Amino acid sequence: MKSRQQTATLAAKLYIAWAGLSAAVTLTYFPAAFVVKGAAAATALRIVSSPMCYRAAVLGDLLSGVLSIYMAMALYQLFRDVDRGQARLMVAFVLLQVAMAFAIMLMQIAPLVLLNGASYWSAFEKPQLDALALGFLSLRGQGISAMSAYWGLWLVPLGVLVYKSGFLPRIIGVFLLVAWGAYVASTITFFFSPAYYRLVFYAVTTPAATLGEIGFIGWVLIKGVRADASAGRPPDSGNLGAGVA
């Protein structure tokens, strides 16, 4: 049976793998490598010129979803004795993200079908197919921005669990809740003031996520969790009454 620290370390490492892969592939490599804003023909040329790299990027997105499921289950094992209801809610929110990410990934796959040169596309001109391919990729980008609310939503039960755990500092739980609020702020900005979305995301959401999410990971990997803390209460709280008595 794994110790609490072993479970926490596994969860933190899976967290790093999932977040790192998502940031490297989904948010950074893919749009920079294949999407040319406002240039459908150039975007299509990049896709058909590097089909294996494109497919590898899609596979990377799929893998990140799998890693997030394993991460959620590791976190559930870590916190289930703190508050089983909140732990289940956290897993449910992560699974919801995976389902949404898979739907968005279909938009990423669509250009491979549109640009495969099959005879059934002969009814369309090449500029039309190129435009459709870029349209799907633009919709993918919009979907990822809209889904940022769910990146923060699962941090609510996680923050509550950390706060109540007794084996992690409560301030980290507070930081996780602040990160949730920052993700919500960026999503609201995306819908109502899209011109400022990137500014809010990088100026507000990223620092808040650093405090909450990276703070959680860093504490677990560097300082570790308390082995003697009872779930849901500070360590040694059970001895206070005995001392008074």
Q: What confidence tens digit (pLDDT) does each residue in 138-185 have? A: 999 888 888 877 888 999 999 999 999 999 999 999 999 999 999 988
| pLDDT tens digits, one per residue of 100-120 | 999 999 999 999 999 999 999
Q: Which residue has the higher pLDDT, 165 or 241?
A: 165
Residue 136 pLDDT exceeds 80: yes
Count Cβ atoms within 10 A of the Cβ of residue 131 and give its class: 0-12 exposed, 13-18 middle, 19 or more buried.
middle
All residues at 6 or more sequence positions from 34 whose CB lies less than 8 Å from its CB, including other chains: 43, 46, 47, 50, 54, 57, 137
Residue 191: name the closest of 132, 134, 147, 140 by CA: 147
| Block residue for tokens 């860093």 | 218
At residue 21, does pLDDT exceed 60? Answer: yes
Average pLDDT, the chain: 89
Evaluate whether 81 touches 46 at the Cβ level (below 8 Å). Answer: no
173 with 160: CB under 8 angstroms?
A: yes
Q: Average the pLDDT over 193-203 and give the result.
A: 86
Residue 238: its pLDDT value, please? Answer: 41
Q: Is the pLDDT of residue 242 over 60?
A: no
CA 98 – CA 145 distance, rounded (Å) = 15
| pLDDT of 5 | 93
Q: How confident is the model at residue 230 (pLDDT cuts 50, 70, 90)?
A: low
First to last CA, the chain: 36
Please tell me the predicted confidence (pLDDT) of residue 1.
59
Contact predicate 202/210, CB 8 Å: no
pLDDT at position 231 over 80: no
